[in-house]
């Protein structure tokens, strides 16, 4: 099972977000109980959706897409989320694999 999957409008990426991290950034693919997830650390606290917005912005920057192209699809109040990235899955797939 991969940490991302192609969809009709882009890709869905399974992530585990660590809010209030000392060192924000991507941490590679980590195993989870329900399959692998991309580890993503953000400096923002999980209040008023700030950590969610920071996670979307960090993934957008890593993939080279606009921040508006990334949204939380599932798990808005959980650390384990699914982020949806709008775009061409054929282009985004190799970029995601490079992050792993």
What pTM did the predictor assign? Answer: 0.92
Q: Write out pLDDT tens, residues 29-86.
A: 999 988 999 999 999 999 999 999 999 999 999 999 999 999 999 999 999 999 999 9
* CB half-sphere exposure, 16, CA atoms < 13 A: 14
pLDDT value of residue 1: 67
Q: For residue 26, name the pLDDT band (cuts at 50, 70, 90).
A: very high
pLDDT value of residue 22: 94
CB 17, CB 27: distance < 8 Å: no
């Amino acid at each position: 099972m991969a940490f991302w999957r192609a969809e009709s409008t882009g890709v869905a990426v399974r992530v585990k977000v660590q809010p209030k991290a000392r060192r924000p950034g991507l941490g590679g693919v980590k195993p989870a109980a329900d399959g692998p997830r991309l580890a993503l650390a953000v400096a923002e606290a999980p209040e008023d959706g700030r950590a969610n917005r920071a996670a979307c912005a960090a993934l957008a920057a890593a993939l080279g897409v606009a921040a508006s192209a990334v949204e939380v699809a599932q798990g808005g109040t959980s650390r384990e989320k699914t982020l949806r990235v709008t775009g061409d899955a054929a282009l985004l797939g190799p970029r995601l694999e490079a992050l792993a």
